Amino acid sequence: MIKLENISKIYPLSFSREQKAALQNVSFDVESGEFITFCGRSGAGKTTLLKIIACQEKPTDGNVFFEGEDLCRTKDKDICSFRHQIGFVFQDYKLLSYKTVFENVSYALEVTDYQNGGMDEEVEQILELVGLQNQTNSFPHELSGGEKQRVAIARALIHRPKVVLADEPTGNLDPYHTRDILKIFNKVNEMGTTILLATHSKEIVNSLQRRVITIEDGEIRSDEAKGRFIL
Ligand SMILES: Nc1ncnc2c1ncn2[C@@H]1O[C@H](COP(=O)(O)OP(=O)(O)O)[C@@H](O)[C@H]1O
Ligand SMILES: [Mg+2]
Protein backbone atom coordinates (compact mmCIF):
# COMPACT_ATOMS: atom_id res chain seq x y z
CA MET A 1 0.00 0.00 0.00
CA ILE A 2 2.83 2.39 0.95
CA LYS A 3 6.40 1.92 -0.19
CA LEU A 4 9.40 4.02 0.81
CA GLU A 5 12.51 3.61 -1.31
CA ASN A 6 15.84 4.96 -0.09
CA ILE A 7 14.34 8.06 1.48
CA SER A 8 16.75 10.71 2.70
CA LYS A 9 15.92 14.11 4.10
CA ILE A 10 18.63 16.72 4.55
CA TYR A 11 17.69 19.99 6.25
CA PRO A 12 19.87 23.03 5.66
CA LEU A 13 20.68 24.66 8.98
CA SER A 14 20.01 28.36 9.20
CA PHE A 15 22.93 30.58 10.28
CA SER A 16 25.47 27.95 9.18
CA ARG A 17 26.65 26.12 6.09
CA GLU A 18 26.13 22.77 7.71
CA GLN A 19 23.33 20.40 6.98
CA LYS A 20 21.38 17.98 9.11
CA ALA A 21 20.51 14.53 7.80
CA ALA A 22 17.15 13.81 9.47
CA LEU A 23 16.66 10.58 7.49
CA GLN A 24 19.12 8.45 5.55
CA ASN A 25 18.35 5.67 3.14
CA VAL A 26 15.06 4.64 4.73
CA SER A 27 13.16 1.87 2.93
CA PHE A 28 10.17 -0.22 3.97
CA ASP A 29 6.78 -1.44 2.76
CA VAL A 30 3.46 -1.06 4.52
CA GLU A 31 0.67 -3.54 3.78
CA SER A 32 -2.94 -2.41 3.95
CA GLY A 33 -4.35 -3.06 7.43
CA GLU A 34 -1.03 -3.02 9.28
CA PHE A 35 -0.46 -1.23 12.60
CA ILE A 36 3.18 -0.14 12.69
CA THR A 37 4.93 1.61 15.56
CA PHE A 38 7.92 3.81 14.72
CA CYS A 39 10.05 3.93 17.78
CA GLY A 40 13.05 6.13 18.43
CA ARG A 41 14.51 8.75 20.72
CA SER A 42 13.66 12.39 20.35
CA GLY A 43 15.44 13.70 17.23
CA ALA A 44 15.65 10.25 15.59
CA GLY A 45 13.59 11.34 12.58
CA LYS A 46 10.07 10.03 13.36
CA THR A 47 8.17 13.26 12.69
CA THR A 48 10.11 13.88 9.49
CA LEU A 49 9.24 10.37 8.34
CA LEU A 50 5.49 10.81 8.98
CA LYS A 51 5.52 14.22 7.28
CA ILE A 52 7.14 12.74 4.19
CA ILE A 53 4.53 9.97 4.05
CA ALA A 54 1.79 12.63 4.40
CA CYS A 55 3.41 14.71 1.62
CA GLN A 56 3.92 17.63 3.99
CA GLU A 57 7.66 17.48 3.35
CA LYS A 58 9.46 16.46 0.19
CA PRO A 59 12.33 14.00 0.59
CA THR A 60 15.77 15.15 -0.58
CA ASP A 61 16.24 11.75 -2.18
CA GLY A 62 14.21 8.62 -2.78
CA ASN A 63 10.61 7.82 -3.62
CA VAL A 64 7.35 7.33 -1.75
CA PHE A 65 4.63 5.29 -3.42
CA PHE A 66 1.00 5.24 -2.27
CA GLU A 67 -0.97 2.46 -3.95
CA GLY A 68 1.61 2.38 -6.73
CA GLU A 69 1.60 6.12 -7.35
CA ASP A 70 4.81 8.11 -6.93
CA LEU A 71 3.81 10.88 -4.52
CA CYS A 72 6.91 12.97 -5.12
CA ARG A 73 5.91 13.36 -8.74
CA THR A 74 2.17 13.82 -8.23
CA LYS A 75 0.75 17.17 -9.31
CA ASP A 76 -0.41 19.51 -6.54
CA LYS A 77 -4.07 19.24 -7.48
CA ASP A 78 -3.94 15.45 -7.19
CA ILE A 79 -2.21 15.68 -3.82
CA CYS A 80 -5.49 17.07 -2.41
CA SER A 81 -7.42 13.91 -3.15
CA PHE A 82 -4.55 11.88 -1.76
CA ARG A 83 -4.61 13.92 1.48
CA HIS A 84 -8.19 12.79 2.15
CA GLN A 85 -6.93 9.23 2.24
CA ILE A 86 -4.67 10.09 5.15
CA GLY A 87 -5.63 11.29 8.63
CA PHE A 88 -3.06 12.97 10.88
CA VAL A 89 -3.12 12.98 14.70
CA PHE A 90 -0.68 15.25 16.59
CA GLN A 91 0.70 15.19 20.11
CA ASP A 92 -0.81 18.61 20.89
CA TYR A 93 -4.30 17.91 19.38
CA LYS A 94 -4.45 21.16 17.34
CA LEU A 95 -8.15 21.78 18.07
CA LEU A 96 -9.87 25.10 17.41
CA SER A 97 -10.56 26.52 20.87
CA TYR A 98 -13.63 28.55 19.83
CA LYS A 99 -15.38 25.59 18.21
CA THR A 100 -17.31 22.81 19.94
CA VAL A 101 -16.37 19.13 19.73
CA PHE A 102 -18.95 18.68 16.98
CA GLU A 103 -17.73 21.73 15.05
CA ASN A 104 -14.07 20.75 15.34
CA VAL A 105 -14.92 17.53 13.52
CA SER A 106 -17.51 18.85 11.03
CA TYR A 107 -15.22 21.73 10.08
CA ALA A 108 -12.89 19.19 8.45
CA LEU A 109 -15.65 18.10 6.06
CA GLU A 110 -16.36 19.96 2.88
CA VAL A 111 -19.97 21.06 2.60
CA THR A 112 -19.93 20.35 -1.14
CA ASP A 113 -19.59 16.63 -0.43
CA TYR A 114 -22.91 16.67 1.47
CA GLN A 115 -25.37 18.53 -0.73
CA ASN A 116 -28.02 15.96 0.08
CA GLY A 117 -27.49 16.10 3.83
CA GLY A 118 -26.04 13.35 5.96
CA MET A 119 -23.15 15.44 7.25
CA ASP A 120 -24.44 15.64 10.84
CA GLU A 121 -25.04 11.89 11.02
CA GLU A 122 -21.54 11.24 9.71
CA VAL A 123 -20.02 13.43 12.44
CA GLU A 124 -22.22 11.84 15.13
CA GLN A 125 -21.19 8.34 14.03
CA ILE A 126 -17.50 9.17 14.24
CA LEU A 127 -17.92 10.87 17.64
CA GLU A 128 -19.69 7.76 18.90
CA LEU A 129 -16.81 5.61 17.66
CA VAL A 130 -14.41 7.57 19.89
CA GLY A 131 -16.91 7.65 22.79
CA LEU A 132 -17.71 11.37 22.74
CA GLN A 133 -21.39 11.18 21.82
CA ASN A 134 -22.36 12.90 25.12
CA GLN A 135 -19.91 15.78 24.78
CA THR A 136 -20.62 17.03 21.29
CA ASN A 137 -21.42 20.57 22.52
CA SER A 138 -18.43 20.94 24.85
CA PHE A 139 -15.54 23.28 24.04
CA PRO A 140 -11.93 22.03 24.13
CA HIS A 141 -11.17 23.80 27.45
CA GLU A 142 -13.93 21.74 29.07
CA LEU A 143 -12.28 18.43 28.11
CA SER A 144 -9.51 16.30 29.61
CA GLY A 145 -6.36 15.70 27.54
CA GLY A 146 -7.58 12.22 26.63
CA GLU A 147 -10.93 13.61 25.46
CA LYS A 148 -9.21 16.30 23.40
CA GLN A 149 -7.13 13.66 21.69
CA ARG A 150 -10.31 11.66 20.98
CA VAL A 151 -11.75 14.74 19.21
CA ALA A 152 -8.54 14.97 17.18
CA ILE A 153 -8.82 11.28 16.27
CA ALA A 154 -12.46 11.79 15.22
CA ARG A 155 -11.37 14.71 13.03
CA ALA A 156 -8.65 12.55 11.47
CA LEU A 157 -11.21 9.81 10.74
CA ILE A 158 -13.96 11.97 9.28
CA HIS A 159 -12.91 11.43 5.66
CA ARG A 160 -12.73 7.70 6.40
CA PRO A 161 -9.05 7.64 5.44
CA LYS A 162 -7.20 4.48 4.49
CA VAL A 163 -4.27 5.43 6.69
CA VAL A 164 -3.96 7.24 10.02
CA LEU A 165 -0.58 8.76 10.93
CA ALA A 166 -0.22 9.49 14.65
CA ASP A 167 2.79 11.47 15.89
CA GLU A 168 3.36 10.88 19.63
CA PRO A 169 -0.44 10.90 20.15
CA THR A 170 -0.16 10.07 23.84
CA GLY A 171 2.87 12.25 24.57
CA ASN A 172 0.86 14.62 26.78
CA LEU A 173 -1.32 11.99 28.47
CA ASP A 174 -1.18 10.02 31.71
CA PRO A 175 -1.07 6.18 31.60
CA TYR A 176 -4.85 5.87 32.03
CA HIS A 177 -5.69 8.09 29.06
CA THR A 178 -2.82 6.58 27.06
CA ARG A 179 -4.44 3.15 27.37
CA ASP A 180 -7.75 4.65 26.33
CA ILE A 181 -6.29 6.20 23.17
CA LEU A 182 -4.39 3.02 22.22
CA LYS A 183 -7.66 1.07 22.55
CA ILE A 184 -9.28 3.45 20.05
CA PHE A 185 -6.39 3.04 17.60
CA ASN A 186 -6.68 -0.75 17.96
CA LYS A 187 -10.41 -0.55 17.27
CA VAL A 188 -9.91 1.67 14.22
CA ASN A 189 -7.23 -0.74 12.97
CA GLU A 190 -9.58 -3.72 13.45
CA MET A 191 -12.06 -1.89 11.23
CA GLY A 192 -9.44 -2.02 8.46
CA THR A 193 -7.60 1.31 8.73
CA THR A 194 -3.82 1.16 8.43
CA ILE A 195 -2.11 2.87 11.37
CA LEU A 196 1.41 4.30 11.57
CA LEU A 197 2.22 5.54 15.06
CA ALA A 198 5.42 7.28 16.18
CA THR A 199 6.49 7.14 19.80
CA HIS A 200 9.56 7.28 22.04
CA SER A 201 7.74 5.41 24.81
CA LYS A 202 8.92 1.97 25.84
CA GLU A 203 5.57 1.21 27.53
CA ILE A 204 3.59 1.90 24.35
CA VAL A 205 5.87 -0.14 22.11
CA ASN A 206 5.79 -3.11 24.47
CA SER A 207 2.04 -2.92 25.09
CA LEU A 208 1.08 -2.75 21.40
CA GLN A 209 3.06 -5.85 20.39
CA ARG A 210 2.77 -5.02 16.71
CA ARG A 211 5.36 -4.50 13.99
CA VAL A 212 8.02 -2.13 15.29
CA ILE A 213 10.43 -0.15 13.12
CA THR A 214 13.17 1.31 15.30
CA ILE A 215 14.83 4.48 14.03
CA GLU A 216 18.16 5.73 15.29
CA ASP A 217 19.87 8.89 13.97
CA GLY A 218 17.71 8.90 10.86
CA GLU A 219 18.34 5.28 9.94
CA ILE A 220 16.32 2.11 10.41
CA ARG A 221 17.98 0.04 13.07
CA SER A 222 15.49 -2.82 13.12
CA ASP A 223 12.14 -3.85 11.66
CA GLU A 224 10.42 -6.65 13.55
CA ALA A 225 7.02 -8.24 13.18
CA LYS A 226 6.29 -8.36 16.90
CA GLY A 227 8.90 -6.00 18.17
CA ARG A 228 9.94 -4.82 21.58
CA PHE A 229 11.61 -1.64 22.69
CA ILE A 230 15.34 -2.10 22.16
CA LEU A 231 16.91 1.36 22.49
N1 LIG B 1 12.70 22.04 9.70
C2 LIG B 1 13.85 21.57 10.16
N3 LIG B 1 15.02 22.21 9.95
C4 LIG B 1 16.20 21.72 10.40
N5 LIG B 1 16.33 20.58 11.09
C6 LIG B 1 15.20 19.89 11.34
C7 LIG B 1 13.91 20.33 10.91
N8 LIG B 1 12.98 19.42 11.32
C9 LIG B 1 13.66 18.48 11.98
N10 LIG B 1 14.98 18.74 12.00
C11 LIG B 1 16.05 17.91 12.62
O12 LIG B 1 15.95 16.61 12.10
C13 LIG B 1 16.14 15.63 13.11
C14 LIG B 1 14.93 14.72 13.20
O15 LIG B 1 13.83 15.48 13.71
P16 LIG B 1 12.39 14.86 13.93
O17 LIG B 1 11.95 14.19 12.68
O18 LIG B 1 11.53 15.94 14.46
O19 LIG B 1 12.69 13.75 15.05
P20 LIG B 1 11.70 13.05 16.10
O21 LIG B 1 10.31 13.28 15.66
O22 LIG B 1 12.11 11.60 16.10
O23 LIG B 1 12.00 13.68 17.44
C24 LIG B 1 16.42 16.40 14.40
O25 LIG B 1 17.82 16.49 14.57
C26 LIG B 1 15.85 17.78 14.11
O27 LIG B 1 16.52 18.76 14.82
MG1 LIG C 1 8.73 14.10 16.65
83-114: pLDDT as tens digits: 889 999 999 999 999 999 999 999 988 766 66
Can you tell me the distance from the alpha carbon of 230 to that of 202, in angstroms, rounded to the nearest whole number? 8
- Ligand 2 centroid vs 23 CA: distance in angstroms? 13
- The enclosing domain of 54 has a CATH number of 3.40.50.300
Overall domain count for the chain: 1
| 48 in any annotated domain | yes
Counting beta carbons within 10 angstroms of the beta carbon of residue 181, is it exposed (0 to 12), middle (13 to 18) or buried (19 or more)?
buried
State phi, psi for 151 to the nearest 5 degrees.
Answer: -65, -45
| 18 in any annotated domain | no
| 231 in any annotated domain | no
Ligand 1: which atom is nearest the Cα of residue 41?
Answer: 22
Q: What is the pLDDT of residues 135-187, one digit of tens each?
A: 999 999 999 999 999 999 999 999 999 999 999 999 999 999 999 999 999 99
Ligand 1: which atom is nearest the Cα of residue 20?
Answer: 5
Range of the domain at 157: 33-60+76-224
- Which residue's alpha carbon is nearest to atom 14 within ligand 1? 45
- Ligand 2 centroid vs 217 CA: distance in angstroms? 13
Can you tell me the distance from the alpha carbon of 66 to that of 180, in angstroms, rounded to the nearest whole number? 30
- Ligand 2 centroid vs 115 CA: distance in angstroms? 39
200 C-beta neighbours (distance < 10 Å), count: 18
| 28 in any annotated domain | no
Q: Which residues pair with 21 in a beta bridge?
A: 10
| 5 in any annotated domain | no
- Residue 219: the pLDDT is 97
